[in-house]
Amino acid sequence: MGRNAIFLVDKGEGITSFDCLGRIKRNVNKKTGHCGTLDKFAHGLMIVLCGSYTHMVPAFMGLDKTYEAVIEFGRMTDTLDPEGEVIETSPVPSEEVVISAVRRLTGEQMQLPPVYSAIHVNGKRSYQMARSGASDVGLSPRLINIYSAQVLSWEAPLLTVRLHVSKGTYIRSFARDLGHMCSSSAYVKSLYRTQIGPFRVEDAVRFDDENALASIPEGREFLRMLPGSIEVEIDETEAFKATNGYVKGSVKDRIPSGSSYAILMNGGSPVCVYSIKENKIICQVHNED
């Protein structure tokens, strides 16, 4: 059926996340999951889980993300990206106004997702409703956090900014709100995701490197890097119980307080992953043939 693996992929521009995963399914495992897609026009880091590790998708989904975005002022598209139709034009603001607005848009805030997004509204995707001509798809603002926004360059009408954001933050919405805050219009011209939690794009495999994908290692080091995870060595009896979905009290007693996930190890090899909050094993680690 394929191999178990956790690995980082550098998606290119102009390819959908679905097509990117298709290459991985052919080379690694048909059972493949991702921890957050990227729009077709965007490029950069994706975390991909294969085989038994697909059960770990929720653990990786909540991580913060870092992007480098090029935002064009003076016009806005319906999709808030370069693939949409221009629906609004405005004068380009000054550098001083832009930098001031960037500072004001940092921190915890309510953000309205883009109309062209994959959010479900009454059983339908928001973008499907928008494409069918709906003027109001019924999206609601969501609580997000823009931890930092660093201006890298301003060459009117283009702003390049590095954004460190919480789960659920839309950079396209940030551009829309930034443009309006500057009494202008704006959209994301290009987007590069450089980091997800502690995972960096520099350590990723190119999406089109077939040889690297075919020989991808299991990636246990990425499992260890998951924030809040800890390795706990268990004996044969405890391992037998764990493979059958039961974590003995003697094991729980050895898990440090404040941990989120315990990687249960036997003889130096992972047996399973135990979620402390859910009080259950969420991933059995074994080889698939």
Q: What is the mean pLDDT of residues 120-139?
A: 55
Q: Is the pLDDT of residue 131 over 80?
A: no
> For the chain, what is the mean pLDDT?
88
Query: Do 99 and 69 share a structural domain?
Result: yes
Say if residue 93 is preceded by a cis peptide, omega within 30 of 0: no
Burial of 166 (C-beta count, 10 Å sphere; 0-12/13-18/19+): middle
**Number of helical (H) and strand (E) elements in the chain, helices listed first:** 9, 18
Q: Which CATH number covers residue 55?
A: 3.30.2350.10
Residues 78 and 182 both lie in one domain: yes
Vertex 137, ends 135 and 142: CA angle to 5°? 130
pLDDT in tens, 197-256: 999 999 999 988 878 877 777 788 888 899 999 999 999 999 999 999 999 999 999 999
35 with 144, same domain: the answer is no
Bridge partners (DSSP) of residue 46 are 9
**pLDDT of res. 24:** 82
Query: Residue 241 falls within a domain, yes or no?
Result: yes
Q: Based on the structure, what is the number of domains in the chain? A: 3
Of 196, 214, 242, the domain-final residue:
196
Whole-model pTM: value is 0.89
Residue 256 belongs to some domain of the structure = yes
Query: DSSP E strands: which ranges in 156-214?
Result: 158-165, 186-196, 199-200, 205-206
One domain, residues 155 and 40: no
Query: Mean pLDDT, to the nearest integer, of 89-107?
Result: 97
State whether 186 and 72 are in the same domain. Answer: yes
**Which of 261, 285, 266 lies closest to 252 in space, CA to CA?**
261
Q: Distance between CA 75 and CA 18 in Å, rounded?
A: 29
Residue 69 and residue 192 share a domain: yes
Do 153 and 268 lie in one domain? The reply is: no
* Per-residue confidence (pLDDT) for residue 289, from 0 to 100: 40
Whether residues 73 and 134 fall in one domain: yes
Question: CA-CA distance, 189 to 132, in Å (whole number)?
Answer: 25
Is residue 162 in a domain? yes
Q: Judge whether 203 counts as a catalytic residue.
A: no
Instruction: Identify whether the C-beta of residue 57 lies closer than 8 Å to the C-beta of residue 157.
Output: no
Provide the sign of the torsion angle of the four alpha carbons 34, 62, 270, 275, taken in this order: negative
Instruction: Tell me what pLDDT residue 51 has.
Output: 87
Q: Are residues 154 and 241 in the same domain?
A: no
Give the three-class secondary structure for 60.
helix
Are both 144 and 247 inside the same structural domain? no
User: Which one of 10, 19, 39, 81 is the catalytic residue?
Assistant: 39
Residues in the chain: 289
Same domain, 51 and 162: no
Looking at the structure, tell me whether residues 70 and 189 fall in a common domain. yes
Q: Is the pLDDT of residue 135 over 50?
A: yes
Domain with 17, as residue range(s), is 5-62+199-222
The predicted model gives 60-89 an average pLDDT of 95
- Residue 289 lies inside a defined structural domain of this protein: no
